[in-house]
Amino acid sequence: MIFVPGGFSGGDEPDGSGKFIKAFFLGEEVKEAVNALVKKRDGLICGICNGFQALIKLGLVPYGEITEINENSPTLTFNTIARHQSKLVRIRVASDKSPWLRLVNVGDVFTVPISHGEGRFMANDETVKKLIANGQIATQYVDEKGEPTSDIRYNPNGSVLAIEGITSPDGRVFGKMGHSERIGTGLYKNVPGEFDMKIFRSAVKYFS
């Protein structure tokens, strides 16, 4: 499996980290190895925050392989408030198609930290319909009632259909904005909610 974290490389100038990671993955030998991992070896890939940006730019989500993207491809762009957002948000599991989510259930709601300036998921209507039909919308930002929303208090970047994470057609490549990897003993003691989406345990279980 490959896990691509976030991280503000290149000063996180517009598309900074995403472009940096994409350039590395487009090296011919790396590209061939990554495509072989997901197409021939039943491997898993996950990208969070800047890692999600890179997976989008590479086409790994939503297409399932490194490929050329075009004007109809989904993208991640500037938050609607035009500035960085750093807070805790709630997300709902909308599809358990991905092996990264095999230990959670559709409808489960988790609290996750976000920290990004370019996390707004955008796609045209046709692409969104395909993602819905294929079960590729993995997670959505939700309000206190657990409902997807465009309210900036809960959807921190203004993503279409409140989309926080998507997958490849078979679910084995998963990209999301919220930092579900930021868990550990002693964190968020004064904040109610469930933080552990068990993504790493789910991925390991996939191979066991």
Residues classed as catalytic: 49, 179, 181
Q: Could you tell me if 79 and 116 are in contact, meaning their C-beta atoms sit under 8 angstroms apart? A: yes
Among residues 206, 28, 21, which one has the least CA distance to residue 102? 206
β 45-48/2-4 pair status: parallel
* One-character DSSP codes across 12-75: G-TTHHHHHHHHHHTSHHHHHHHHHHHHTS---EEEETHHHHHHHHHTHHHHSS-----TTS-E
CA distance 12 to 77: 13
State whether residue 95 is helix, strand or coil. coil
Query: In whole angstroms, what is the distance from residue 117 CA to residue 95 CA?
Result: 26
Q: What letter does residue 177 receive in the DSSP assignment?
A: S
Instruction: Write the CB contacts of 73 (distance below 8 Å, at least 6 apart in sequence).
Output: 56, 59, 123, 127
